[in-house]
Amino acid sequence: MGPKRQIGARRLAGIGTSIFSEITALAVEHGAANLGQGFPDFAAPAFVKEAAARHIRDDRNQYAASPGVPRLRRALADDQRRRWPDGPGVDPDTEVTVGSGATELLHDALLALVDPGDEVIVFEPAYDAYGPDVAMAGGAVRAVPLAPPDWGFDPAALAAAFGPRTRALILNTPHNPTGRVFRRPELEVIAELCRRHDVIVIADEVYSELTFGAPHTSIATLPGMFERSITVDSMGKTFSVTGWKVGWAIAPAPLTAALRAVHQFVTFTNAAPFQEALADVLPMAAAEGYYAGLRADYARRRDLLAAALRGARLDPAPVDGAYFLLADLRPHGVADDVAFCRRLVTEVGVAAIPTSVFYGDPAAAPPFARFCFAKSDQTLRAAAARLAARP
Ligand SMILES: Cc1ncc(COP(=O)(O)O)c(C=O)c1O
C-alpha cells in the first residue's frame, strides 16, 4: 500500500503537466510540422559545437567552480561591454553567476528574494516558469496585462499592482510569447516604480540578440537600476543550443551573493565543457559578426512563416523580437485556443501553442496561437503546405 498522506507538497498545487508536453506528444503522434516548442530544429553553428568538443577532448570534464568557470565569467563581463556600451562595467568575480540555463537562475533568483507572503509582479502573458517559480518560493503573482494588438501595458494598472508586499518584478524583453521589445519610455515607467517601491527587477533577456529593428535595452542600464536588477540571459537561443543549458545572471554583489547561496544547493554547478565552450564562443561571435547574421537569418525565417500564416488567413501581427508569431483567433470566431491548437495538430498537422496557457487565469485570456519560427526551411515549408491545404 502506498503512502496515505497527500504525495505532493502544498506548494505544488496548480503545477501540472504543461501543454507543451501534450502538444509535443500529439505532434509526434500525428507527424506534424512542429512549430510548438521554442527551440531550433536546425544545426548549431560549427564553431560553437567545435568549441565544446575541444573541451571534452581536453578533459574539462569535472565539476566547474560553483559560480561558473572563471574564464567564462571574465568572458561574460567582457562581452557585457558590447551589450552595455554606456552601462555599468561588470565584475566577473562578484557580479556574474553561471547556472543551468536561464531556467535555473530565474528559479534561484526568486528563491533568493521572495519570502512567503511576498508578491511578484509579472506581465501577462508570461513565460510558463514564472508562476511556478514564484509559488515554490511561497510568493504570489500580481499579474499586469499586456493587451493586444500591440501588447503594451497600462501604466496606471502597473502602478496599482505595486504595494507594501511587492518584492520583485519579472520583466521579459524581448518577450515570449508576444515578440514585443519593451521601449525605453516603458522601461523608465517600470524603473521609476521599482525605485519608488524598493522593488528588485528580475530581467529575463534570453532573446536579447534576437531583435528585428527595435533595439533591445536592458532595464539594468537605466539610472539607479543596476543596483536593483538581476539580468538573466542564456546561450540556448543565441547559439541554437538550448540543450546545453548554460545561462548566466548579472547582478550587483549583494544580489549575486544571495543568488549564489541558492545556486550552490540547487545545481551547485553546470556542465564544465559547455561553460568553457561559451568562453571561447563569445569573443569569436563578436569578432565575426555572428549576431547580425543571426538576426538576418531569423528575419528570413520569420518572413517565410508570416507568409504561410497569411496564406491560411491566420494573419500574424508584426514582431520586434524573439522567434514567435502570434495569430489572433478571434476573427475566426475561436474562443478556445487550446481546442483550436489540438485540432490544428491532429487535423492539419501543424503544432502551435495556445497562448492562454501563459496566463494565471486561462479563461480570461484572449485566444491566440503561437507559432515558432526557429525552425528549418523544411519544417517551415511543410507547415506552409499543410496550412495552405487547411479546410
Ligand atoms: C522567456 C524565456 N525565459 C527562459 C527560457 C529558458 O531558458 P533556458 O533554456 O536558458 O533555461 C525560455 C525558453 O524558452 C524563455 O522563452
What is residue 190's predicted lDDT score, i.e. its pLDDT? 98
* Ligand 1 centroid to residue 248 C-alpha, Å: 12
Q: pLDDT for 188-240, tens place per residue?
A: 999 999 999 999 999 999 999 999 989 999 999 999 999 999 999 999 999 99
| 8 Å CB contact between 205 and 87 | no
pLDDT for 5 beyond 90? no
When computed from its CA atoms, the radius of gyration of the chain, rounded to whole angstroms, is 21
Run of H or E residues at 234: strand 229-234
Question: pTM above the 0.85 mark?
Answer: yes
DSSP state of 13: T
- The set of residues, in sequence order, having a beta carbon less than 8 Å from that of 360 and lying 6+ positions away, is 124, 131, 141, 143
Is the beta carbon of 102 within 6 A of some atom in ligand 1? yes
Give the closest residue (by CA) to ligand 1 atom 13: 38
What is residue 288's predicted lDDT score, i.e. its pLDDT? 96
Is the beta carbon of 204 within 6 A of some atom in ligand 1? yes
How far is the C-alpha of 99 from the C-alpha of 354, rounded, in Å? 29
The most confident of the ranges 1-5, 11-15, 141-145 is 141-145
Helix (H, G, I), strand (E, B), or coil: what is residue 171? Answer: strand
How far is the C-alpha of 77 from the C-alpha of 71, rounded, in Å? 10
Give the closest residue (by CA) to ligand 1 atom 16: 176
How far is the C-alpha of 357 from the C-alpha of 342, rounded, in Å? 13
| 8 Å CB contact between 198 and 165 | no
Q: What is the mean pLDDT of the chain?
A: 96
Of 236, 218, 212, 239, the closest CA to residue 320 belongs to: 212
Percentage of the chain beyond pLDDT 70 is 99
Question: pLDDT band at residue 148, thresholds of 50, 70 and 90?
Answer: very high
Q: pLDDT for 51-84, tens place per residue?
A: 999 999 999 999 999 999 999 999 999 999 999 9
Is the beta carbon of 176 within 6 A of some atom in ligand 1? yes
Helix (H, G, I), strand (E, B), or coil: what is residue 259? Answer: helix
Is the beta carbon of 172 within 6 A of some atom in ligand 1? yes
How far is the C-alpha of 263 from the C-alpha of 269, rounded, in Å? 8
pLDDT for 353 beyond 90? yes
How far is the C-alpha of 63 from the C-alpha of 322, rounded, in Å? 32
Question: pLDDT band at residue 389, thresholds of 50, 70 and 90?
Answer: confident
- Name residue 131's beta-bridge partners: none
* Ligand 1 centroid to residue 131 C-alpha, Å: 14
Q: Can you tell me which atom of ligand 1 is nearest the CA of 246?
A: 10
How far is the C-alpha of 77 from the C-alpha of 96, rounded, in Å? 7
Question: pLDDT band at residue 11, thresholds of 50, 70 and 90?
Answer: confident
Q: pLDDT for 89-125, tens place per residue?
A: 999 999 999 999 999 999 999 999 999 999 999 999 9
Q: Work out the angle between the directed axes of helices 272-287 and 290-311 (0-180°, nearest 10).
A: 90
What is residue 88's predicted lDDT score, i.e. its pLDDT? 87
Amino acid letter, 176? N
Is the beta carbon of 127 within 6 A of some atom in ligand 1? yes
What is residue 15's predicted lDDT score, i.e. its pLDDT? 80
Helix residue ranges, H only, 137-183: 155-161
How far is the C-alpha of 352 from the C-alpha of 369, rounded, in Å? 6
Torsion, Cα 187 190 194 200, to 10 degrees, reads -60
Distance of CA 42 to the CA centre of its chain: 19
